[in-house]
Amino acid sequence: MFLYVSHPMCKKHDNGWGHPENAERYSRVEDALVSARLLDYVLTKEARQANDEDILRVHTPHFLKTLKAAIPQQGLITLDEDTALSPDSLDAARYGSGAVLDAIDSIMAGQAQRAFCNIRPPGHHAEVQKPMGFCLLNHVAIGAAYALEHYGLERVAIVDIDVHHGNGTESYARVEPRVTLISNFESGIYPFTDPHSDLPNQLKLPMPAHTSGAQWLEAWNHLGWPFLQAARPQLIIVSAGFDGHQMDPLAHWNLHERDYQAWTEQLIRQANQLCQGRIVSVLEGGYDLTALGLSVVAHVKALAEL
């Protein structure tokens, strides 16, 4: 009843030499899951590509037209200081979004109860009108929009545990009140988010540098889970960033892989009570390869109840 979705095309997106968001992240995640023998006991699927209709449920026509026109024939171009395009970048991102759509289809058809999508480039910084912050397409928002339209759901929750706030997903939540967004993040780092929210369908959980696993879990127990319960989602989509790990070079939290496992176990309890256990987890950040592999193994082991 657990599904792993990926596509090797996700390795083809290239941010350039030395960039922390690189193809080795995808490979390290899959290698870690294989080494832990977790993929021996679950369903696996090669993702489809999201089409223009899927993307335009979230992103504007101008966004998509501009992104298509910017794809280089060879080499790299930069969209901002953090985000690049290579010839295969848009295709890689389409497979990333398609993985989320495939996971939702399988869950709604009763073929799986939970799923993990090993994809890149990540998506949660991609706003409705512009790509940014390593992200081209907002995969979790595209998944939520698909679930609302294709399956007639009325309430979808996106829970974002990446150490950086999902500003792109927030831009979608601003125009889609049927989506509830709960996002934890380290205060004062990219994308330099206002810690206060003016949206009734969003909860921000800013936490300082050096936040421990115990403090992080307590914030979810005290604020995050009650907000989720009040939203009564019919499906939960996770922006699963693991850059809160103490080994990650781009942030300053002190989480460990055991904390991600404990959080995931709490999430499953919430989902079982709220939405028949339906969870789609989507890889976002995590830039120390060892920490990323360990954290994803802990997360998937809990999700698959292995």
39 to 173, 292, 305: CA distances (angstroms): 33, 17, 13
The C-alpha atoms of residue 282 and residue 300 are separated, in whole angstroms, by 11
65 to 14, 52, 61: CA distances (angstroms): 20, 10, 6
So what's the pLDDT on residue 163? 98
So what's the pLDDT on residue 22? 98
What pLDDT band is residue 230 in, cutting at 50, 70 and 90? very high
- Is beta strand 156-160 parallel, antiparallel or unpaired with respect to 43-46? unpaired
What pLDDT band is residue 237 in, cutting at 50, 70 and 90? very high
Q: pLDDT digits over 169-189, tens only? A: 999 999 999 999 999 999 999
Q: Residue 51: what residue type?
A: N
DSSP letter at 205 equals: E
Q: Which of 195, 159, 156, 160 is nearest to 176 (CA)?
A: 156
φ, ψ (nearest 5 deg) of residue 75: 70, -160
So what's the pLDDT on residue 134? 98
Average pLDDT, integer, range 259-281: 98
Q: Residue 77: what residue type?
A: I
So what's the pLDDT on residue 273? 98
Average pLDDT, integer, range 6-25: 98
Average pLDDT, integer, range 130-147: 98
The per-residue DSSP string of 262-274 comes to HHHHHHHHHHHHH
What pLDDT band is residue 101 in, cutting at 50, 70 and 90? very high
Evaluate the omega torsion of the peptide bond into residue 131 and state whether it is cis, within 30 degrees of 0.
no
Q: Residue 252: what residue type?
A: H
* Residues 295, 260 contacting (CB under 8 angstroms): yes
The C-alpha atoms of residue 103 and residue 279 are separated, in whole angstroms, by 9
So what's the pLDDT on residue 245? 98
Domains in the chain, please, with CATH? 2-303 (3.40.800.20)
First vs last Cα of the chain: how many Å apart?
Answer: 11
Token pair for 298: 């802990």
The C-alpha atoms of residue 58 and residue 253 are separated, in whole angstroms, by 31
Q: pLDDT digits over 38-74, tens only? A: 999 999 999 999 999 999 999 999 999 999 999 999 9
For the entire predicted model, the pTM comes to 0.98
DSSP letter at 181 equals: E
So what's the pLDDT on residue 185? 98
At 153 the three-state DSSP class reads coil
What pLDDT band is residue 11 in, cutting at 50, 70 and 90? very high
Q: How far is CA 56 from the centre of its chain?
A: 19
So what's the pLDDT on residue 99? 99
DSSP letter at 34 equals: H
So what's the pLDDT on residue 289? 98
For the chain, give the percent of residues with pLDDT over 90. 100
* Residues 118, 26 contacting (CB under 8 angstroms): yes
Tracing tokens 């992240």 back to the chain, one arrives at 25
